[in-house]
């Protein structure tokens, strides 16, 4: 199972930076 789409719910102090890192490390994953 390959994750291609991640929905960030509650992009606060933890969610924001984490989603940014994931987006940079995984170009093929769509972060919304």
In tens, the pLDDT along 1-32 reads: 566 666 655 555 666 677 677 777 766 666 65
* pLDDT for 20: 73
Distance CA 20, CA 11 (A): 10
* pLDDT for 10: 57
* pLDDT for 30: 66
Q: Which two tokens stand for residue 18?
A: 């984490």
Distance CA 5, CA 27 (A): 11
The label of the residue with tokens 């994953």 reads 29
> Does residue 4 contact residue 30 with C-beta atoms inside 8 Å?
yes
């Amino acid at each position: 199972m390959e994750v291609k789409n991640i929905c960030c719910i509650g992009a606060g102090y933890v969610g924001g930076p984490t989603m940014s890192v994931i987006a940079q490390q995984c170009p093929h994953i769509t972060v919304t």
